[in-house]
Amino acid sequence: MGPFIPRLAFIQKAALAYPLGRELMSRLKAEDVEVSVYEKKLPLSTQKTFAERFFLSKRTMVVLVWKRRDFQTCRPSAHYQLPLVSGCPGLCEYCYLNTNLGRTPYVKVYVNVEDILDRAREYVDERRPATTVFEGSATSDPVAVEAWTGSLQRAIRFFAALDNARFRFVTKYTDIGGLLGIPHKGKTEVRFSINCNYALERFETGTPRLQNRLKAAREIARAGYPLGFLVGPIFVFEGWREEYTKLLHAVRDYVPDDIGVTIELITHRFTARSKKVIEQVYPGTQVPLDKEERRFKHGQFGYGKYVYPDNVMAEIREFFERQIGAVLPHARILYIV
Ligand code: SF4
């Protein structure tokens, strides 16, 4: 899979005051991307249908200045989100961003990375001597645009030099060449998001193949980064145990035995809002979205989500704890939600 080339780009005028803004302008033009500069408000989309707007937004890069504000909290994976990028060009039908980004899921990249990192430093100072953990992928897959921005590289170097702080991000993308060989002091944890073939084949488009993600994971481990896997969203379907067992075996085949990877397990969930988006954008989707089959759970940001009922959750938990213990005995499960 080649790097992401947007179809359109909107550049905020104020972003051109920053070197990264100017660099992106000339690189986007060199790739023949249609670039327009806007001042205050993003131009309205000319697409007629919801689905057309959605798909064009996924291929639209917005280059802008991050406005200073509080970071969002980010349980259970970290203390705070680190907002380097928002949005992702991938087309995973179940994507959790469908709830937050809704109708115009632009790929937004911020040019003033230093300001974002300065704000992160303030949070770390407030919480010292406790360690503060930042999550770089709460609203995006930042590796998808790393070849454009280099923001992850900068964040990794920044956290390597900052005491009482750690950084982590998760990705399905494999463009990690620029992250190998930079100083990280083991303070950035890179996780790869993976799933069984059943889910990859039905629900994911525009993301690298599993084998390529596992190869990238192996390179990250060789470069000395702490490595993790996020298995999700976990679906329950006819034969799910066999499929997820195969996935754990694939991880074992690629990742050196003796390194202690971490594993996060996230079962499939949806919100009323994401269900609406998914059904409009991917009519005929096979993502299970039947509210009757789920338990409603109140969520952190005021909207509830539909999760698997308790008996199914218990089966999932029991299965993964047992299988991971058997197939990946050095792995540590961080949480199952
Ligand atoms: Fe969403 Fe991740 Fe897929 Fe991007 S790669 S569309 S962020 S699930």
Nearest residue to 82 (alpha-carbon basis) of 139, 144, 135: 135
With tokens 């039905």, the residue in question is 202
Helix (H, G, I), strand (E, B) or coil at 211: helix
Q: Are 62 and 107 in contact (CB under 8 A)?
A: yes
User: Quick check: 301 pLDDT over 70?
Assistant: no
Helix (H, G, I), strand (E, B) or coil at 13: helix
Tell me which residue has its CA closest to atom 5 in ligand 1. Answer: 90
Tell me which residue has its CA closest to atom 1 in ligand 1. Answer: 95
Q: Which residues contact 114 (CB under 8 A, 6 or more apart)?
A: none
**Rama region for 32: left / alpha / beta (φ>0; ψ in -120 to 50; rest):** left
Give pLDDT, residue 95: 92
pTM of the model: 0.94
At 321, give phi and psi (nearest 5°): -60, -45
Q: Is the CB of 207 under 6 A from ligand 1?
A: yes
Helix (H, G, I), strand (E, B) or coil at 166: strand
Average pLDDT over residues 62-75: 94
Q: Which residues contact 110 (CB under 8 A, 6 or more apart)?
A: 64, 65, 66, 83, 84, 85, 116, 151
Instruction: Find the radius of gyration of the CA atoms of the chain.
Output: 20
User: Quick check: 245 pLDDT over 90?
Assistant: yes
Tell me which residue has its CA closest to atom 2 in ligand 1. Answer: 141
Q: What is the pLDDT of residues 139-185, one digit of tens each?
A: 999 999 999 999 999 999 999 999 999 999 999 999 999 999 999 99
Q: Is the CB of 90 under 6 A from ligand 1?
A: yes
